[in-house]
């Protein structure tokens, strides 16, 4: 162990009570940042959960559709064009509606019946399932062949009493309700998707049901309502390169202003970026994280300067026997890094526990993958390192004559 690290460690643990408080202080900051970061990420991820369930490599989308919740469709012809490209295994249309779908649980008597609420409706071509990762049983899928049926999201937003169990009322097999004023029957065991900022829940219907319930306004036009595609999910052949297929498609659609080709991850990132930059989510939780960072910075600074004040004689002695400011700064830096490491270790455990509780409460997708742990470690280390830089100015001012 290097000497600065040894001195730093011994200085910290010299008083066990204070040591506990030191670690507690840093842990508090880590939890503050970690929970804010976790909520932010959970919110962003909940908004792309549907996209993450798409079973495809590439996605066709209208370029002006800044978020999938907005309405901007491209013509079906683009799907046919894409299907002709080498390396494309299949192309699946997906219909989305966030605006018009109003659900009223007519099968429930008042007062348990809540008011009509907007619901996200996903229309799919039953011959080409783009949502295989939702693991919907085949027999449930087949039941959508019957017009006026829908699969339901078991993780729809819960409702406060007396409206139970979801904001849409009870969601289970056989429940009937009204979607945009038309009777709809829920079938199957449901699937697990969850709610987000744009919608409190999701229904999956066949494309024909989708057209009948949500594109009825197009019935008076010559156009087939299913010709307006919201998302085109492209699955590439196993022996082809996704990047090559994307380039080919981009070249093909270069002159066409109504469609662009994204990989699935590009679409997810674009969607996250939209929510982060164009809604208060990013600001609110970003500010929360910055606040946590500043609080942690101040806590760590106070710990370090307090520790310097407690050991000023020690630092003066080290200077008097010939150690330079760099050695003293290294001790302060090592103290900061040790605090960061310990605070992070305890903090990660607390954040994981808090997220577990929050997941149970909210059904939001709180996760703590290694990447996020590393990000938190980076933020915590930066916070403590900056504190050390500031606190080191005090140790540089220590007068070696103070030993007398």
CA distances from residue 298 to 22, 26, 382, 396 in whole angstroms, order as listed: 12, 10, 13, 19
In the structure encoding, which two tokens stand for residue 9, read together?
């460690």
- Selected from 321, 360, 369, 371, the binder of other proteins by CB under 8 A is 321
CB of 315 to other proteins, least distance (A): 10
**Count of residues that interact with other proteins, criterion CB under 8 A:** 26
CB of 330 to other proteins, least distance (A): 11
294 binds other proteins per the rule CB under 8 A: no
In the structure encoding, which two tokens stand for residue 49, read together?
């959960």
Nearer to other proteins, 99 or 314 (CB): 314
- Selected from 218, 237, 320, 386, the binder of other proteins by CB under 8 A is 320
Nearer to other proteins, 220 or 404 (CB): 404
187 binds other proteins per the rule CB under 8 A: no
223 binds other proteins per the rule CB under 8 A: no
Nearer to other proteins, 5 or 298 (CB): 5
306 binds other proteins per the rule CB under 8 A: no
Q: DSSP letter at 404?
A: -
In the structure encoding, which two tokens stand for residue 293, read together?
């960072």
Q: Which of residues 7-36 bind other proteins (CB under 8 A)?
A: 7, 10-11, 13-14
313 binds other proteins per the rule CB under 8 A: yes
Task: Give the range of 56-64, 134-142, 261-269, 396-404 binding other proteins by CB under 8 A.
Answer: 396-404
400 binds other proteins per the rule CB under 8 A: yes
What would the DSSP string read from start to end of 52-106?
HT---SEEEE-TT-SSTTS---EETHHHHHHHTSTTEEEEEEEEEESSS-EEE-T
CB of 381 to other proteins, least distance (A): 24
Q: Which of residues 326-385 bind other proteins (CB under 8 A)?
A: 327
Location of structure tokens 């659609």: 253
Longest Cα–Cα distance of the chain, Å, equals: 97
Neighbours of 80 (CB within 10 A): 10
324 binds other proteins per the rule CB under 8 A: yes
CB of 24 to other proteins, least distance (A): 20
CB of 321 to other proteins, least distance (A): 6
Distance CA 285, CA 41 (A): 9
Spatial strand order of the sheet with 231-236 comes to 117-118, 102-104, 176-179, 182-191, 149-153, 202-206, 120-124, 88-97, 231-236, 58-61, 260-263
48 binds other proteins per the rule CB under 8 A: no
Nearer to other proteins, 132 or 397 (CB): 397
- Selected from 302, 314, 359, 362, the binder of other proteins by CB under 8 A is 314
Distance CA 336, CA 12 (A): 10
Task: Give the range of 192-200, 243-251, 371-379, 395-403 binding other proteins by CB under 8 A.
Answer: 395-403
403 binds other proteins per the rule CB under 8 A: yes
316 binds other proteins per the rule CB under 8 A: yes
Distance from chain centroid for Cα 114: 29
Are 169 and 114 contacting, i.e. CB atoms less than 8 angstroms apart?
yes
Among residues 88, 83, 86, 64, the alpha carbon closest in space to that of 74 is found at 64
CB of 399 to other proteins, least distance (A): 8
Phi first, then psi, for residue 205 (nearest 5°) are: -130, 165
263 binds other proteins per the rule CB under 8 A: no
Residues engaged in binding other proteins (CB under 8 A) = 3, 6-7, 10-11, 13-14, 311, 313-314, 316-325, 327, 399-401, 403-404
């Amino acid at each position: 162990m290097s000497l600065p690290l040894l001195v730093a460690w011994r200085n910290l643990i010299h008083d066990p009570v204070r040591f506990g408080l030191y670690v507690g202080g840093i842990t508090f900051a880590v939890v503050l940042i970690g929970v804010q970061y976790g909520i932010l990420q959970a919110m962003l991820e909940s908004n792309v959960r549907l996209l993450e369930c798409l079973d495809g490599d590439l996605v066709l989308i209208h370029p002006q559709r800044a978020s999938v919740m907005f309405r901007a469709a491209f013509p079906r012809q683009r799907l046919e064009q894409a299907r002709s490209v080498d390396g494309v295994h299949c192309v699946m249309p997906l219909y989305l509606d966030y605006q018009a779908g109003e659900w009223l649980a007519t099968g429930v008597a008042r007062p348990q019946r809540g008011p009509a609420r907007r619901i996200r409706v996903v229309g799919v071509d039953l011959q080409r399932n783009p949502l295989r990762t939702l693991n919907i049983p085949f027999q449930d899928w087949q039941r959508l062949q019957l017009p006026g049926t829908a699969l339901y999201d078991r993780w729809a937003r819960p409702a406060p009493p007396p409206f139970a169990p979801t904001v849409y009322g009870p969601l289970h097999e056989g429940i009937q309700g009204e979607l945009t004023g038309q009777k709809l029957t829920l079938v199957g065991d449901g699937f697990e998707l969850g709610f987000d900022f744009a919608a409190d829940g999701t229904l999956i219907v066949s494309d024909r049901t989708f057209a009948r319930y949500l594109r009825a306004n197009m019935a008076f036009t010559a156009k087939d309502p299913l010709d307006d595609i919201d998302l085109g999910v492209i699955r590439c052949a196993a022996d082809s390169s996704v990047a090559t297929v994307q380039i080919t498609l981009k070249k093909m659609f270069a002159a066409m202003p109504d469609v662009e080709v994204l990989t699935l991850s590009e679409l997810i990132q674009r969607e996250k970026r939209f929510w982060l930059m164009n809604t208060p989510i990013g600001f609110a939780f970003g500010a929360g994280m910055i606040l946590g960072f500043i609080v942690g910075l101040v806590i760590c600074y106070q710990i370090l300067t307090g520790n310097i004040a407690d050991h000023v004689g020690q630092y003066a002695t080290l200077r008097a026997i010939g150690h330079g400011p760099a050695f003293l700064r290294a001790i302060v830096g090592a103290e900061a890094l040790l605090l960061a490491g310990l605070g992070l270790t305890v903090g990660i455990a607390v954040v994981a526990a808090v997220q577990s509780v929050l997941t149970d409460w909210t059904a939001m997708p709180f996760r703590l993958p290694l990447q996020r742990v590393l990000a938190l470690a980076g933020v915590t280390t930066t916070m403590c390192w900056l504190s050390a830089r500031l606190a080191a100015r005090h140790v540089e001012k220590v007068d070696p004559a103070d030993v007398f």
